[in-house]
Amino acid sequence: MSDDGRRRVANASSGLAYEEPLLFERSRAGRLGCALDRLDVPERTPEQVLPESLLRDDVPELPELSEVDVIRHFTRLSTWNASVDLGLYPLGSCTMKYNPKLNEKVARLPGFAQLHPLQPAALAQGVLHLAHQLEGYLAEISGMDRICLQPAAGAQGELAGIMMIRAYHELRGSQCSRILIPDTAHGTNPASAALNGYEVVSVPTGDDGILHPEAVAAVMSPDVAALMITNPNTLGLFEEHVARIAEIVHAQGGLVYGDGANLNALLGVSRPGDHGIDVMHFNLHKTFSTPHGGGGPGAGPVGVKNILAPFLPVPAVRKLEGAEGEGYALDYEFPHSIGRLHGNFGNVGMFVRAYAYIRSLGPEGLRRCAEMAVLNANYVLARLRGTYHLPYDRRVMHECVPSDKNLEGTGVTAMDVAKRLIDYGYHPPTIYFPLIVPGALMIEPTESESLEGLDRFIDALLEIDREAREEPERVRGAPHHTPRSRFDEARAARRPVLRWQPEPSA
Amino acid sequence: MHYIPHTEDDVRLMLDVIGVPSLDALFETVPEKLQLKAALALPRAAGERELLAEIAALAGQNANLETHDWFLGAGTYPHFIPAAVDAIASRSEFYTAYTPYQAEFSQGTLQVIFEWQTMIAGLTGLEVANASLYDGASAAAEAALMAMRVTRRSRVLVPAGLHPHYRDVLRTYLRGIQAEIVEPDSADAEALRASVDPQTACVVVQQPSFLGAVRDLRAVAEAAQAQGALLVVVVTEALSLALLAAPGAAGADIVCGEAQSFGVPMAFGGPHLGFLAARTRFLRQIPGRLVGQTVDSRGRRGFVLTLATREQHIRRERATSNICTNQGLCLLMATVYLALLGRKGLRRLAEMNLAKAEYAKARVRATPGLSLPVAQPSFNEFAVRVPDSAEASLGRALEQGAVGGLDLAPYAPELGPAVLVCTTELASREAIDRLIVALAGRAS
């Protein structure tokens, strides 16, 4: 506190680089940021209506701010973020493609944004039609028979998929206790398996970076409920033996789960349904351009072959036929369904965006996505060859995984390369994943990146390699140009401070 | 194709550098018999103008807050959203950003989450809140799983009063592991004392209940904790936290639920915003992301994702949950909303909702044919017994341009014909008067 008793917030801002305190530090008693209507019914105080024991006085943790304070606060905070609209965001298996503005516009139409999930179906025919159409599009794109849009994210889609597999086996009386998961799999795969009570058995990837039928056959047994496979896999490689592998699994009564995170590479080119996949999830926030939102919301619809249709979550959207009349209804009567996963139908706002995207592209546009995504990743690989180590130097699909191995001896690691890329204006690629590549840099440019954009990015990586050899300290101390650099993450974990608290008065 | 920049010249040059003659050659690792021979059977690409017109026509077929008066709550609440919320949520620096794993490039997102965690902790009366979950239903399920981990017990008590969809989601989540759900008829403390035993991991109580009832949670907490079980309080109408006794202060161990009321559009059910808060001693078992404060290499304050060893990308099959995304952008909307309304505004808004409900309930009491079958006090939602059938009452309401509430026949048939009515700040006095008339079926 300063002498006159008013709290002063240090102004460390400079030019257009704003330091912005927390809301609670900006707060001033008496400020208000909203204009509530006048009350048109008799005033009642809470004490007149409810016993005191059921009431609270206040929520002192909430700040008091004017609308100007609030807008300035969040506008300034926004300038401290990397974003797709600012530049390339080459995170592997995240598909950080451009988020079309038309999608944002249609999702905000009151006829979608201001609907209640429990309003009568007769009053929601437009959104039910859209959902039904989207299901059809996803089925066509994937080659699966039936789609459920409900899961709120890819991980929840995986959960649904494994639950359906479990329900299938239970109904048949098969006593399966294990799930096969490749060692390149995303962490949500084993987590989803464990949430269903399955023991995870890891399947080793071959030296060529893909799964081989012999490796799967070696661990396959009637005790295995399913194999989970990501195709293309997290090394960016197409699992060439997928059809044979599916046969091996099916032959012993197992099912195949397809993690659809990398579907962008296959649009209009190949379909998981033709690979022997029995159930898969889609990531609308990856392949289908819905925005990542700073960590969500996403949407993770599932697709199944008819063999698993009885187990789909409820409710289902059904098109009325014949004597039933026209339009759509919601069905709940599925005795073998795994039940509900979401309080309502899922992230409908994302369905609207994905629908607009698929309609904007059409079949040629979707195939072009895959072609350009694959072209871009192979171009990056080709230009990095000879400088960065390529553990799997072969044709890739939509992403490539160089590593920091060639930097051995310089003291510079993948982490340092990632941080130095920030100085060049790039959000780093995924690092240290997949786990089978030490020092991995997982790069997925997506089809949104232009040739000159790719060249600039690759030039930055090549420059960082040169820096690592000639001025390694520059790389290891990066980032130098951001408002904050190299956080003490150990301290954050050792002494967790997870909320603001006012300083105790002296 | 305006979202894809490549020209034919670009493609030719790139193919040259890669060393292949054509785009088809790039797919040589896809076995021939797995390659599609024809284009996907989808509608051809639409131009922006025609697509907008088509989608707007679909939107036009849906009743919504702008076309009807709205008295339907039941887990998703019709509230006014100030313009400033969407102004911020439309900033692409927020919505086209990724999960803030690279802290130096994500301080905007991280600081917002830290602010959210602070406000949710305060609203719930607990010590630590996470960076959100998918929705209230999955938050309730995650809370039950968490209680099971903390207590190492496998029985979950779910007395009547939990939103039926939440109960369904809880059942779905718990089916895959060795867990047992017991559903006592009543959430009264006396009844619960008889049901809670040393195998009980938690008691899950919704406040206000699905039928709108508000109860004293302290006795419920004592009943649960007497046997070492946790009290999980589920909140579907987050605005109630501004006015009702904080569940944490009343003894709840975990408070979770739905924060859609804080500036998140109803959007036909999603995306919404699950929240979860707990006591510090349960920190290591909390699911989902956590943002913590720390310093950088030059001692400057900043924020990072922390305690990630709980999560799937580190612990894989031993993670506390499989959750990967949170509801980032919805969290931003809610944080902006709470900042705009603030300590005084949120309280005033809650009082307005209460006043609207009290007015409506007074009109119900004064109207022959209508009654209030639930004795307990309520916040902004309550059941109304109607003559004949809820379907008829709601039909009359619709004719007058109102979505009058939820038909309770499938959910609480023991009440007889009844409607669950929600009155928020959006409900004008005139609209409430019209609703009462419609529910009763004749001029009162």
pLDDT tens digits, B297-324: 999 999 999 998 777 677 777 776 777 6
Residue bearing tokens 């006795």: B219
CB contacts of A111 in chain B (<8 Å) are: 56, 58-62, 64
Q: Which residues of A3-15 are buried (b: 16+ CB within 10 A; e: fewer)?
A: eeeeeeeeeeeee
Q: What is the mean pLDDT of residues B226-247?
A: 98
Q: Which of residues 142-201 of B touch A (CB under 8 A)?
A: 163, 165-166, 168-169, 171-173, 175-178
B290 phi/psi in degrees, rounded to 5: -135, 135
Query: What confidence score (pLDDT) does residue B218 get?
Result: 97
User: Rounded to two decimals, what is the model's pTM?
Assistant: 0.96
Nearest to A41 among B297, B321, B356 (CB): B356
pLDDT digits (tens, 9 = 90+) for B414-427: 999 999 999 999 99
CB contacts of A418 in chain B (<8 Å) are: 102
What burial class does residue A408 get, using C-beta atoms within 10 Å of its C-beta: 0-12 exposed, 13-18 middle, 19+ buried?
A: exposed
The C-alpha angle A63, A65, A66, rounded to 5 degrees, equals: 165
Residue type at position A80: W
Q: Do B271 and A340 touch (CB under 8 A)?
A: no
CA distance A343 to B242: 23
CA distance A10 to B426: 41
As a whole number of Å, the CA-based R_g of chain B is 25
Tens-of-pLDDT digits for all 506 residues of chain A?
444 444 444 556 677 778 999 999 999 999 999 999 999 999 999 999 999 999 999 999 999 999 999 999 999 999 999 999 999 999 998 999 999 999 999 999 999 999 999 999 999 999 999 999 999 999 999 999 999 999 999 999 999 999 999 999 999 999 999 999 999 998 889 988 988 889 999 999 999 999 999 999 999 999 999 999 999 999 999 999 999 999 999 999 999 999 999 999 999 999 999 999 999 999 999 999 999 999 999 999 999 999 999 999 999 999 999 888 899 999 998 999 999 999 999 999 999 999 999 999 999 999 999 999 999 999 999 999 999 999 999 999 999 999 999 999 999 999 999 999 999 999 999 999 998 999 999 999 999 999 999 999 999 999 999 999 999 999 999 999 999 999 999 999 999 999 999 887 65
pLDDT digits (tens, 9 = 90+) for B369-426: 999 999 999 999 999 999 999 999 999 999 999 999 999 999 999 999 999 999 999 9
CB contacts of A225 in chain B (<8 Å) are: none
Q: Which H/E stretch holds residue A430? A: strand A430-431
DSSP letter, residue A38: P
CA distance A476 to A417: 8
Q: What CA–CA distances, in Å, run from B394 to A160, B384, B415, B435? A: 35, 12, 16, 9
Please state, rounded to an integer, the average pLDDT across all residues of chain B: 95
CA distance A206 to A202: 13
Query: What confidence score (pLDDT) does residue A11 get?
Result: 54
* DSSP per-residue codes, B41-76: SSPPPPPHHHHHHHHHHHHHTB--TTTSEE---TTS
Structure tokens at A224: 């295995």
Sign, CA dihedral A119-A122-A123-A129, equals: positive
Query: What confidence score (pLDDT) does residue A506 get?
Result: 54
Percentage of the residues of chain A whose pLDDT score is greater than 70: 97
B442 pLDDT higher than 70: no
CB contacts of B403 in chain A (<8 Å) are: 116, 119, 123
Write down the ipTM of this complex: 0.96
CA distance B429 to B444: 15
User: Is some CB atom of chain B closer than 8 A to the CB atom of A140?
Assistant: yes
CB contacts of A53 in chain B (<8 Å) are: 216, 218, 245
Q: What is the mean pLDDT of residues B83-104?
A: 96
Residue in A487, A497, A501 to test binding to B, most B beta-carbons within 10 Å: A487
Confidence of residue B444 (pLDDT cuts 50, 70, 90): very low
pLDDT digits (tens, 9 = 90+) for A210-269: 999 999 999 999 999 999 999 999 999 999 999 999 999 999 999 999 999 999 999 999
User: Is some CB atom of chain A closer than 8 A to the CB atom of B281?
Assistant: no
Of all residues in chain A, the one with the smallest CA distance to B433 is A41
Query: What confidence score (pLDDT) does residue A2 get?
Result: 41
Distance from A409 to chain B by nearest Cα, in Å?
24
